[in-house]
Chain A
Amino acid sequence: MNKESAAALKGKKKQIMETWMGNQTKDAALRDDLMSVAELQQQSEEFLNSLLKAFASPQADDTDSAGYEPIHDILNEISISRARQGFSPRETSSYILSLKEVLSHTLEERFREEPATLYKEIISMNKIMDSLSLLTTETYIKGREEVILRQTNEMSEISTPVIRVWEGILALPIIGTLDSARTQVVMEALLEEIVATGSRIAILDISGVPTVDSLVAQHLIKTVSAARLMGAECIISGIRAEIAQTIVHLGIDLTNIYTKASLASALKMSFSMLNIQVTKAAPNAQLGSKQNFGF
């Protein structure tokens, strides 16, 4: 891109801005539910200013040069914020591509008499704009990936809470499929909590695990063994009929592990292991205490 086109574009800045904004607001893809027009206007103006400055720089054709740095920052910010707001990748990159059309018209007006120059200038402008548009797509994907990664982490943390159900008894309801990475999280969370609370029994409830294959069973056995090494005993509860069937068909040996059908029976078993007795209070005593309230 030569100095003349940069100057021409700069001179028509106001007009370019108006046409571009007009195109954008006319465009059906504009998501005014996600972003206000005023916000868009401000963003676009900032971008156009930096772009025209970069066009005037000595290395205008190289989008990796220092002159384009502020543009990269602006575009990064725009695409990451759009990825979070839920724009589609097409909507994000068409933001840049829509400017291309306006710039082409401006260049056409300026170099109407010199087709050769016009052709050269349009090609170089296209190159720059395409590379910037690719940059937005790239950053958009990066932003999306960050969102996904964060959600994955949150999900694996949320879905494995360690609950203290009684003094000395922990419960760990596992929800979702157990893979190696999650088992590690589950195992660590459980063992840390055993140390922190000094619990002697941990109940692993797998009612929320859709399928148990040999790998999942192996992970569970590992967790039980690790807890045993530390001096705590594990009870696996919530084994459904179909899961019991799979386990037997797969030939998995769970004979050294305490298993119970429901969390309630596992809790009962823990009570007897810790010599805890829970009895119903006498009905009379409860009535008596109610009368004592004086109503």
Chain B
Amino acid sequence: MERIPILKMGPFLLVTIQVDLYDRLALTLENDLINMVSKTEAKGVLIDISAVSIVDSFMGRILGNIASMSKIMDAATVVVGMQPAVAITLVELGLTLSGVHTALDVEQGMELLRNKIGQLEQDEEGLYDSFI
């Protein structure tokens, strides 16, 4: 069965979707990705959808699900490279993906994730300091 590869890059997971997501594939991706987050204890997930030209409410929901699940597992999700047409469609569908961070391209997405991790570490240190 077709699968979307999930690459590990340091503390992050990188997913590049190069085909149009049909429902089954999206569900498999969701499943694989969460298992991978748990296995690698990743701090962030970066999903590149620059090659996706068709999007429906189901895929919007899957992206939202991935974000909420990752958040529970302590990983931030960034969706990068959304095409204008896809963005317009999602907005028209009423899906604003509120829990998901977005960036224009992979480079900016990585930077965003790094900042998020920096923030998390600072927060944790602060917590630790006050604890002492």
- What is A's interface to B at a CB cutoff of 8 Å? 187-188, 191-192, 194-195, 198-200, 222, 225-232
Q: Are B88 and A191 in contact (CB under 8 A)?
A: yes
26 contacts between A and B (CB under 8 A): A188-B84, A188-B88, A191-B88, A192-B84, A195-B83, A198-B104, A198-B105, A198-B108, A200-B104, A226-B90, A226-B91, A228-B96, A228-B102, A229-B79, A229-B82, A229-B87, A229-B90, A229-B91, A230-B87, A230-B102, A231-B80, A231-B81, A231-B82, A231-B102, A231-B103, A231-B105
Please indicate the chain A residues that have their CB under 8 angstroms from the CB of B105 in the complex.
Answer: 198, 231
- Per-residue CB contact flags for chain B residues 83-115 toward chain A (1 = under 8 Å, else 0) read 110111011100011000011110011000000
> What class of interface size applies to chain B in its complex with A?
20 to 34
Q: How far is it, in angstroms, between the C-alpha of A232 and the C-alpha of B108 when the chains are bound?
A: 11
Residues of chain A lying within 8 A (CB to CB) of residue B91: 222, 225-226, 229
**Which of A200, A222, A226 sits near B84, CB closer than 8 Å?**
A226
CA distance A194 to B82 in the complex (A): 11
List the B residue with the shortest CB-CB distance to A233. B102
Which residue in chain B gives the minimum CB-CB distance to A229?
Answer: B87
- For the complex formed, measure the closest distance between the CB of A217 and the CB atoms of chain B, giving whole angstroms: 14
The residues of B that contact A231 with a CB separation of less than 8 Å are 79-82, 102-105, 108-109
Name the CB-closest residue of A to B60.
Answer: A229
Q: Tell me the nearest residue of chain A to B50, going by C-beta.
A: A195
CB distance from B1 to the nearest CB of A (A): 29
Q: How far, in angstroms, from A247 to B90 measured CA to CA in the complex?
A: 25
User: Are A187 and B88 in contact, with the CB atoms below 8 A?
Assistant: yes
Q: How far is the CB of B53 from chain A (nearest CB, A)?
A: 13
Inter-chain CA distance A248–B103, complex, in Å, is 31
Q: How far does the Cβ of A166 sit from chain B's closest Cβ, in whole Å?
A: 16
Chain A proximity of B114: nearest CB distance (Å): 14
